[in-house]
A and B are shown apart, each in its own frame.
Chain A
Amino acid sequence: MTIASLNNATQVELLTLYREMLLIRRFEEQCNALFLQGKIPSTLHLYIGQEAVAVGVCAALRPDDYVLGTHRPHGHALAKGVTSRSIMAELFGKVTGCCKAKGGSMHVGDMSVGMFPAIAIVGANAPIATGAALSAKMRGSGQVVVAFFGEGGANEGAVHEAMNMAAIWKLPVLFVCENNLYGASTPVSQIVAVENVADRAVAYGMPGVIVDGNDVLAVRDVTRTAVERARAGEGPSLIECKTYRLCGHSRSDACNYRTREEEAEWRDKDPLLRIRKLLTEETGLATLSDLEQVEAEVEAILTDAIQFADESPEPAPEDALLHVFWEDK
């Protein structure tokens, strides 16, 4: 990687991206540990290995833009600005959680920072994203909407309908496919006949872009281009980020459907190793002590978040009756 590949990113920008990626990585590692300690009562779909996608995409967005996540949403939520405290408390099932303990891991979100409650039915977030983009266009708000989904989600009919509608109405929405090569255990080669999910974009009449999903700057830059196009009223884009889930699909997954050699190859391409190397060896923009400072900041955020979640009260059982319908505050 050369200095030119920085695309004018400054030290501050790069360290910010690193901090956000590291926060997700460490958040997820802590979740795993807290699950094993019995602190988190649900299953977990961890985002380890895909951090550059959420962080790179969200780095190209405005605070009032919308993001719709998936059943693997912690990374999307953190990158969009939902606090570690409110997500961790949600995972613990505490009333201080971002969904007041009604959602859990698969539904974290906070509309006040543009993060929809995550939608855990695969592909179902895409038409809702198209609707939010229609709303942005009707209201003239200039907002852009991002729907994340995997290469598995790309095969849902909902995604097809959503892309077609977004394209005919030229809506400001980005369909970001995180192709991590496996839909739970099923390899992409068994479920997609074309080489790239992005190849399908031409059928919808929108640009299809393929990007190295482990290169946070590359993801940010292709997203910026798509966002500019969307805000200019030129319509949606499909961005396929090639990446890899470095952990199991969910807590119970031993990954027996893939080889240890393949995993080792992808560990060498770990997006965090990559940005560390870029910051230090390749550009000299940061020293090891700069990185250590970021790491200390992240640890402090997480220590605080875990303590907050641990000390927060549980909901009363009868709180289950609240919020079936909207209640005016």
Chain B
Amino acid sequence: MALMTIAEALREGIREEMRRDPTVFCLGEDIGVPGGFGGAFTVTLGLSDEFGHNRILDTPISEIGIAGVAIGAAMTGMRPIADVQYGDFLFCMMDQLANQAAKMTYMSGGTVKVPLVMRAPVGSTRRGSQHAQSLEAFFTHIPGLKVLAPSTAYDAKGLLKSAIRDENPVLIFEHKLLYGSKGGRSEKGALSPIGEVPDEDYTVPIGKGAIRRVGKDVTIVGKLLTVYRALEAAEELAKEGIEAEVIDPRTLIPLDKELILESVRKTGRLVVVEEDNLTHGWGAEIAAIVAEEAFFYLDAPIKRVASLDTPPPFAPPMEAYYLPSVERVIAAVKSQF
């Protein structure tokens, strides 16, 4: 057992899978250049020393190309892990993800598989509008993609390994404030959770959520950074006698719907917290599922806490106002009592 940050856990996961399986390789911008960053958040730092520059493959700034190359390699016997420097750049490769990767197995009648992994950092971190968005909901809306959102070091490594071994295209969203990246790539305001990660080989199954805090009065569902915002809110609420249960779905597609429903049947209240902006978002989907399948267990209207319906602003006061704060989570819960 070792204590690791999420960036370290992801790095070890990649390292172990590349040792285990010669078809696994990484590609992306600035991931292996000697003297470079090891990816924007240091996840691949040092891996080219062990695996060389053919398997830690630096690419041109060509996001369509990165996605297309990963798809073509995956369809012909390789298991690529593509590094997207900032999640926002996924929009540049949208055709390859939405029209190609997601549909290839389906439109070939199940004769072709696309076992690729795409890792993308999300979250607003004082970089303005184009290096800040939380994009999960765009991809959970595309049948054919699996979408993961690990929030702990243990899950990051275990889910990454499951993703690499999966026969489908898997997107892994990682939050910039959770990586624990060090040195010049460390982030202001980061939480950098450090967690215990087993030394032996293990995986976290895709499609299983986790209860992060047990409670009886309200269910708070968060993902990535908002799991921690929810936990902080829960501690505050406990001081006032409200015991919140905090659920981290860990994988968004497929979703562990039953875990959420079971919790809501127990607590009778649901608050969904996400960093994406509100309208037509992931939180709306979770709310709809609960409204459709556990309506008669609800004691109060479902509440969603999300970023505002604006692009992510730059200046710290505006950014803080835009994001779903602990205070907004507390207020949402209290409004249900």
Contacts and interface: CB of A to CB of B under 8 A. Distances in A.
A152 interface: no
Interface residues of A, number: 45
B111 interface: yes
Q: Which of B76, B106, B112 has the most CB of A within 10 A?
A: B76
A132 interface: yes
Interface in B16-49: 23, 25
A101 B109 contact: yes
B110 A326 contact: yes
A135 B105 contact: no
A166 to B, nearest CB: 9
Contact of A157 (B64, B105, B112): B64
Contacts of A110: 111
Given A111-B112, A139-B77, A139-B78, A158 B107 contact: no
A298 interface: no
Interface in B45-64: 54, 59-60, 62, 64
Given A124-B95, A165-B60, A131 B108 contact: no
Interface string B91-121: 0000110011000111111111111000000
A124 B106 contact: no
B168 A117 contact: no
Interface string A104-130: 000101110000110101001011111
Contacts of A324: 105-106, 143-144
Nearest to A323: B110
A161 interface: yes
Contact of B68 (A97, A124, A164): A124
Contacts of A103: 107-109
Contact of A129 (B67, B72, B77, B108): B72
A145 B69 CA distance: 13
Contacts of B110: 100, 102, 322-323, 326-327
Contacts of A158: 64-65, 68, 95-96
Given A128-B68, A138-B78, A326 B167 contact: yes
Contacts of B114: 326
Given A66-B76, A129-B72, A326-B113, A165 B65 contact: yes
A121 B102 CA distance: 14
Given A139-B78, A162-B65, A117 B107 contact: yes
B255 interface: no
B95 A131 contact: no
A275 B74 CA distance: 39
A166 B73 CA distance: 13
Interface of A: 66, 97-103, 107, 109-111, 116-117, 119, 121, 124, 126-136, 138-139, 145, 157-158, 161-162, 164-165, 168, 322-328
19 contacts: A66-B76, A109-B112, A126-B68, A127-B65, A127-B69, A128-B100, A130-B69, A131-B69, A134-B69, A134-B78, A135-B72, A135-B73, A138-B78, A161-B62, A161-B65, A162-B68, A165-B59, A324-B105, A324-B144
Given A100-B110, A117-B107, A135-B78, 16 more contacts: A99-B107, A100-B111, A111-B108, A116-B112, A117-B104, A127-B65, A129-B72, A135-B72, A161-B64, A165-B60, A168-B60, A323-B105, A323-B108, A323-B109, A325-B167, A326-B113
